[in-house]
Amino acid sequence: MSSGNLDILTRGILKNNPTFKLILGLCPTLAVTTSLTNSFTMGIATSFVLVLSSIIVSMIKGFVPGKIRIPSYIVVISTLVTVVDMALAASVPDVHERLGIYVPLIVVNCIILGRAEAFASKEKVYRSALDGIGMGVGFILSICLIGIIRELFGTGSIVFFNQIIIDTGITNMPVVMILGPGAFLTLGLLLALFNYLNNKNGESGING
């Protein structure tokens, strides 16, 4: 199944969106989308690791025996995450502090291992990089969408890195939206919407 480079780059955004079509990496999707800022920083950090791990996994695919590929990929991913963590702590301590436990959590994001296993381990380096970028952008857009909905309905305003973007002035918003149940409700409704739109266009639904 060979596809064009442009298709590899763009399919992560809609056709194979990691959150709404592949249903991968739901742990951070549910846990950190309490605000747009958190979603965005998590998305950027995850995408950075995703692109690099796709490139490295693709580079070492000839060297790694099939039986130990999963442990090898985990070592690659956790090394990258630890390097990112230390580099952030030493260079931009304020951003590092804001990200907190999200950075180590990137290791267990199954989008990264999923793309390593399903794509990068079989494809050329530049195609794997394109796939990583596309999936990363798809992930950022998805969790930012969830973050916007939860923050808007949970707090009545959207604050992006201390800049007020939207302020409805309503103070008695349902706090449940930024609690755990709000994450499930938002994700469930968005999944339903995405599937409805897909069915209307005659495409297949969830293929995760």
Partner 1 sequence: MKKTNHMDGVGVNSKDIIITGVKLMFIVMVSVSILSYVNSITEERIANIEKERFERGLREVVPLAYDFEKIDENVFVAYSKGGSIRGKIYFVESKGYNGVIEMLVGINSGGRIIKVSVVKHMETPGLGSNVDDEDFLKQFEGKSIEQIGLAKKGSGDIDAISGATTSSNAVINGVRSAIEMWGDDR
Which positions touch partner 1 (CB under 8 A)?
31-32, 34-35, 38, 60, 63-65, 67-68, 71-72, 75-76, 78-79, 82-83, 86-87, 89-90, 93, 100-101, 154, 175, 178-179
Angle (nearest 5°) at CA 168 between 167 and 174: 110
Nearer to partner 1, 16 or 58 (CB): 58
> Minimum Å distance from CB 44 to partner 1?
16
- Count of alpha carbons within 13 Å of 198, Cβ hemisphere only? 17
The H-or-E segment that residue 64 falls in is: none
Contact 127, 45 (CB under 8 A): no
Neighbours of 111 (CB within 10 A): 26
Q: Which residues contact 132 (CB under 8 A, 6 or more apart)?
A: 47, 50, 51, 52, 53, 54, 55, 115, 120
Nearer to partner 1, 85 or 114 (CB): 85
Contact 168, 157 (CB under 8 A): yes
> Minimum Å distance from CB 176 to partner 1?
9
> Minimum Å distance from CB 72 to partner 1?
5
Q: Alpha helices, DSSP H only, in 60-162?
A: 69-91, 93-99, 102-105, 110-115, 125-155
Nearer to partner 1, 80 or 137 (CB): 80
Nearer to partner 1, 87 or 193 (CB): 87
Nearer to partner 1, 9 or 76 (CB): 76
C-alpha span between 176 and 76 (Å, rounded): 38
> Minimum Å distance from CB 82 to partner 1?
6
> Minimum Å distance from CB 137 to partner 1?
23
> Minimum Å distance from CB 183 to partner 1?
10
- Say how far residue 144 (Cα) sits from the centre of its chain: 9
Nearer to partner 1, 1 or 90 (CB): 90
